[in-house]
Structure formats: structure tokens, C-alpha cells
Amino acid sequence: MLKFVIGDDAPDDSMMPGPGQLLRELPPLPSSWQSMLDNRLILEVKRGSVAGETEWLINGKPFDPAGVATSLRNNAGRTPLAQQKKNSFNLWEIRNGGGGGWVHPFHLHMEEHRTVMRNGRDVTRGDPSHPDDVSREDLVALDPNESVIVYRGFRDFVGPYVAHCHHLAHEDHAMMFGWEITP
């Protein structure tokens, strides 16, 4: 049971679309997107050492609700925070580090993305094994031991957000990381 207590008024930044308003287009993928690969964020989800399916780690660390995740070292030799400026775009790699042979439907909150690579293969023109990759999506279908790279941008809001596996048993065992959009 969860009890919600409504306190004082708070600012409401939500935006309702008008009647009949169509969804906006996805942000266009720049032709130079591969030049962003070296600086990408790398986030690996992997089963921890606690028995069964009770511990999931992101880049070797448990979920920290008070902070943002740190990328594994990328090809530029950097370990950036999962933190991006509003109106910026970047490549994020979500990697299935294994454990139990699981697929992980990994949901990145806030914005739609474009899937650009699977296991180092350019899939911007589609992948027969993942026809959903060319649709509007905010979820990475992560097969066992697979690496998926998505192109993400942040167009509307700032603040802290999460990304998490949509298997509820995984999500409830902290298969999740924090990230942030800054002004």
C-alpha cells in the first residue's frame, strides 16, 4: 500500500497538446552521427553476485537514487556522467553484460530515440530481427550479450530522470540508473 499526501501547490510545467495536434517528428539524425561514437555514454547492465535475480548492477554499481550514473571508459578515454544539456544530442550505448540469459527491455525515460547500432552494425536502415527499431520508441530491446547504441536528444525539460528494465522483477531489484538533463 502506498499513501499519497498532497501538500502545498507546486509549479506545473506540464504541457497538454491541443486537440488534433499531431506528434512532432523525431529529431533528424545527422549524417555525421558516427563521429559521435568515440564520446558516447556506455552503460552496462549485469547481474550481481547476490543469489538468483536479486541484484542488478549498472557499470558494476547498484542503483543510487541520489545520483547519476557514470559511463564506462569510452573510446575518447573519458568516463562522462549520464548528464546532458537541454537541446543537446548524444549517442548512448546500452550493453547487456549478461547473467541468466535475459533479454532486457530497457526503458529510457523522457525522450524518443533512434536506434543506430546493434553489436557494432549500422542499423539505421533497419534490422530484420528488430523491425521495431525504425519506429518511434523510448525502449531499447536488448538481447542477451547485445550492445545497442541509440541517438538521444533532450528538447523539453530539465531535471533528474531514470532509465530501467521493464521486467518488473528486474526493475524492483534496482536494475535502474539515474541521469539528468541540465539547463
Residue 41 or 141: the one with the smaller Cβ distance to Cu ion is 141
**Among residues 123, 165, 174, 176, the one that binds Cu ion under rule CB under 5 A:** 165
Q: Is 164 in the site for Cu ion (CB under 5 A)?
A: no
Sheet containing 104-108: which strands, arranged edge to edge? Answer: 83-85, 176-182, 159-165, 104-108, 139-142
Q: Is 95 in the site for Cu ion (CB under 5 A)?
A: no
As a whole number of angstroms, the distance between CA 139 and CA 46 comes to 18
| 130: number of Cβ within 10 Å | 17
Q: Is 104 in the site for Cu ion (CB under 5 A)?
A: yes
3-state secondary structure 120-148: CEECCCCCCCCHHHHCCECEEEECCCCEE
As a whole number of angstroms, the distance between CA 60 and CA 29 comes to 31
Residue 27 or 98: the one with the smaller Cβ distance to Cu ion is 98
Taking residues 123 to 162 in sequence order and writing x for each that binds Cu ion by CB under 5 A, - otherwise, the string is: ----------------------------------------
User: At 3, is the secondary structure helix, strand, or coil?
Assistant: coil
Q: Is 167 in the site for Cu ion (CB under 5 A)?
A: yes
Q: Is 107 in the site for Cu ion (CB under 5 A)?
A: no
User: Nearest distance from residue 4's CB to Cu ion, in Å?
Assistant: 28
**Where does this chain bind Cu ion (CB under 5 A)?**
104, 165, 167, 170
